[in-house]
Structure formats: C-alpha cells, structure tokens
Amino acid sequence: MDRLKLATVWLGGCSGCHMSFLDLDEWLIELHRRADLVYSPLVDTKTYPDHVDVVLVEGALCNTDHLDMIRIIRNRTRILVAFGDCAVTGNVTALRNPLGSAESVLQCAYLDNADLLAQVPSEPGIVPPLLDRVLPVHAVVPVEYYLPGCPPPADRIRALLARLLDGQTPQLTASQIKFG
C-alpha cells in the first residue's frame, strides 16, 4: 500500500489545533510509519505540493492570502478536513464580522484606539488585505469532513486519521462531534 500523503495548514487561527495534533504523542510514531507529512507549519516546506491525500486545515479565511491558499489546497488535495471550530464555523476569528467591513475594523483598531503613531498597517506584498467577512472553509471550497473542537482533542484527531489511514470513512459520534 502507498503511504498516505498528509498535510496540515494553519490559516486564520491560534495554532491550538496544531498543538492538539502534537498531543497525539506516541501515536505520531505510528502515523509516521503510515503517512508522509508533506506540508505543514511543523516542517520546512514552502510550496503546497500536488497529489496530497489528506489535509487538515486549521483556521478561518481572514485575508486574500487565505483565499488563494485554500483554492490551491482544494485543487491539489483529495480529502479536505475542516480542522477545528475556526475552520468549521469561523469561531473566534469571525468575532470581527459584526463590526462591519474590514475597513471599519482596521479604523477602530489602528486609528480610533491608537495611543501612538496611528496608522493602518499596509505593505503591499507583505500585509495581505483583510476580507470584509471572516469565512469558514466550506464557504469557499468543498470540505469532505469536519473535525469540531476548540481545539479538537487528540483522541478525536486520532479517530479521524486512523479511519482514513485504514481506507475507511470517518464516523465521529457522541462526544467526538461536539464543538468547543
């Protein structure tokens, strides 16, 4: 059997889902025996590869770079998993949505409430423009599986990945499907 090509991606979120992934502890050794981690903030790979089998996408879509990245990911990946509540619903990252457009949020944060040197950060090519609304992953691209939790506990991540490694459909039930 070919080794599974696994990727993890961190968009607009806190990295808590990746910390929970690391909480797989010894099971990471078993995962390494059966899968290659081909892209992740945990490895030094700059370009998202072609022909990825499974990707865990942490975080919501907050800026134009996230939009570009999620489209690349979707085009190059067989199974996309919305990894954690931010990817599933927008969660904490979407708390800015009721405040209005990106412009009004930036105005409030960087001009109205500034103590010193009030200015909106903008450096073309370095600071990506914010989207007017933070979006969950499924609002932009199709998602095969949802892994809720803030962050999802390690046993929930393992349950999903173990089934995918065995070529089975993940079936999260009872406490495995709760949010928060």
Rounded to two decimals, what is the model's pTM?
Answer: 0.91
Quick one: which of 139, 152, 160, 143 has its CA closest to 179?
A: 152
**Confidence at residue 2, expressed as pLDDT on a 0 to 100 scale:** 75
Report all structural domains of the chain as residue ranges with CATH numbers, in order of start: 4-97+130-177 (3.40.50.700)
Evaluate whether 39 touches 64 at the Cβ level (below 8 Å).
no
User: Tens digit of pLDDT per residue, the chain (180 long)?
Assistant: 578 999 999 999 999 999 999 999 999 999 999 999 999 998 988 999 999 999 999 999 999 999 999 999 999 999 999 999 999 999 999 999 999 999 999 998 899 988 888 998 888 888 899 999 999 999 999 999 999 999 999 999 999 999 999 999 988 776 666 666
Identity at 152, one-letter amino acid code: P
Return all residues near 42 (Cβ < 8 A) that are at least 6 apart.
Answer: 8, 18, 22
Quick one: which of 22, 36, 136, 54 has its CA closest to 87?
A: 136
